[in-house]
Amino acid sequence: MNKLKVSIIGGGSWGTTVASLLAQNTDVSLWARSPETVEEINRDHTNRKYLPDAILPDTLFASTDLAKVTEFADVLVMGVPSNSFRSVLTEVRPYLRPWVPVISLTKGLEKESDLRMTQVIEQELPRHPVGVLTGPNLAREIVAGQAAASVIATEDDNIAKELQKVFNHGVFRVYTNDDVVGCELGGVLKNIIAIAVGMGIGLGAGDNTRSALITRGLAEITRLGVALGGRAETFAGLAGMGDLLATCISPQSRNHQVGVQLGKGRSIEQIISEMVMVAEGVKSAPTVIRLAQKQGIEMPIAADVLNVIEGRKTPQQTFEGLLGRKVGAEYD
């Protein structure tokens, strides 16, 4: 049987990590804008800017030529940030063959439209099956060969099972799920809760506070996710609780680190200016609150994170407000 040809769009940490995994299973080409990144991947089999200690498979091919990377693809994997996702899709469109599945790695929402990335794919690449790869996946651990689990979510079970074979590798276990909405929203919403948990750590809060924020944050995520069409059980799985835990407790998480720095009194502008990679939770927070308001869903933790990001509150004021908030039944 011929191997599937997979094209990865995006040479950041997660796109490169997924490319590295898949290159051990099948034929993989990776597109990146930076000629320096492409040259380094092809020559040295490294991407030190995003994955300083990783050695990539010598079978992984990289290029800045979008046509060359995508025109023979059997599967297209999108690993670019949410703010450039649509524009890159429009660049890809002339070269992609019909009916090729398109899988998103991006855990964000489009700011202008409030759309999830799979919805953006459906608009820009109609008649292409869409899906998402998501879960508690910290790139540096996975590329180093540490065990991890993820979810490939598509509505078509046959496509999901075929993609499962492509993405599953060694100790990187991939499960299938047909709840695309829930899986995708789990990956988006947890980023905002991770900023809140990070703020608590920056302020010197302990494990009790962190546990409370994670648990109540999961309740917020689930309420909004179900209102928007996801299934409640999805948020108790890898795409929900699993991803939330990894992002909230790991120093490798960009959103966690943003929160820590906010808690220490730094401004969001200072923090973002020093980051190499995007913290999607900062960009998604206004969109998430808009969606919650439209659905009549209360998200006090997410709302307070947005207040801090936009300068209306300090982290200290936010935590005092959360502690002083009226309490009711846990499962109302």
Q: Which residues are catalytic?
A: 190
Residue linked to tokens 């300090």: 314
Six-digit token string for 131: 């899906």
Question: What whole-number distance in Å separates Cα of residue 157 and Cα of residue 140?
Answer: 30
Distance of CA 7 to the CA centre of its chain: 18
For CA atoms 85, 91, 68, 48, give the dihedral sign. Answer: negative
Question: What whole-number distance in Å separates Cα of residue 32 and Cα of residue 294?
Answer: 37
Taking a C-beta distance cutoff of 8 angstroms, is the pair 110, 120 a contact? yes
Taking a C-beta distance cutoff of 8 angstroms, is the pair 240, 234 a contact? yes
Buried b / exposed e over 185-219, threshold 16 CB at 10 Å, is: bbbbbbbbbbbbbbbbbbbebeeebbeebbebbbe
Question: What whole-number distance in Å separates Cα of residue 86 and Cα of residue 81?
Answer: 10
